[in-house]
Copies of this chain bind each other. A is one copy, B any other.
Amino acid sequence: MPNSPKSQETRQRILDAAEALFARDGFASVTVRQIMKQAGADVALAYYHFGSKRDLFDSVLLRRAETMNAIRHAALDEVERRHPDDSPTVEEIIAAFTNPLLDLLESDHEQWRHYFALVAQVNNSPEWGGELMTKYFDPLVRRFLDALRKALPDCPPEDLYWSYHFLSGALTLTFAETGRIDNLSDGACSSRDMAAIAERLPAFIAAGFQYLASK
């Protein structure tokens, strides 16, 4: 009985545990034994289900990448549907890129905040940032860049790429919820205050895109 419900559930428990631990401590700091202890399963099961520690890591990344990409595609679909003739505004496009992540966080905070923290680490790692992020997110990002190109027809492509790069950095740090802003603001701001992010991040980034394009 391949893929029995029982074994599927075990796989998910392992992925959950691995996700939380990798997100907090990084790939190399986490032990397969730690993961399996938290998952409540035997060490060898990790290798039976996933092959190796590295393959387990990739599986963790892949699992939610699909959901994340789907929800962002849908958000951009929706924005484009509202503009059959003209182009959406820059801020609308950026919001379609960022707001779905806030929705995911609000729907299931625990799971997604671990995942986003993990992506933040991967994105900022020279070792993995180039390859892994490209692998999982490139098609989606290119679609957003296309939409932005239409919204900013006079903007040189290089400016678009750099603007997106700045967006990517701001986004990943913000969603990593490192607690840095809590410390810095002496508690006036909270990493976990999603409403605060939704009000500010798309506006901030859209202004940057537009200013750069207009220079």
Mark A residues whose CB is within 8 Å of B.
23-29, 117, 120-121, 123-127, 129-131, 133-134, 138, 141-142, 157-159, 161-174, 176-185, 188-189, 196-197, 200-201, 203-212, 215
Copies in the complex: 2
Knowing A129-B178, A158-B189, A176-B124, the reply to whether A163 touches B204 (Cβ < 8 A) is yes
Q: Is the CB of B124 within 8 A of A179?
A: no
Q: What is the CA–CA distance of A24 and B167 in the complex, to the nearest angstrom? A: 23
Known: A173-B172, A203-B215. A183 touches B130 (CB 8 A): yes
A162 close to B200 (CB less than 8 A)? yes
Contact A180 B134 (CB under 8 A): yes
Q: Establish whether residues B183 and A134, one from each chain, have CB atoms under 8 Å apart when the complex forms.
A: yes
A124 surroundings in chain B (CB, below 8 A): 120-121, 123-124, 172-173, 176, 178
Contacts of A159 in B (CB 8 A): 200
Given contacts A172-B173, A203-B212, A203-B215, 8 further A-B contacts (CB under 8 A): A117-B126, A123-B124, A130-B179, A161-B184, A162-B197, A168-B173, A204-B209, A207-B211
Q: Which residues of B contact A177 (CB under 8 A)?
A: 126
Report the nearest B residue to A173, measured CB to CB: B169
With contact pairs A29-B28, A157-B188, A189-B158 given, residues A204 and B166 touching in the complex (Cβ less than 8 Å): yes
Known: A26-B125, A126-B24, A162-B189. A212 touches B184 (CB 8 A): no
- Please report the C-alpha to C-alpha distance between residue A127 and residue B26 in the assembled complex, in whole angstroms: 9
Give the residues in chain B near A203, CB-CB below 8 Å.
208, 211-212, 215
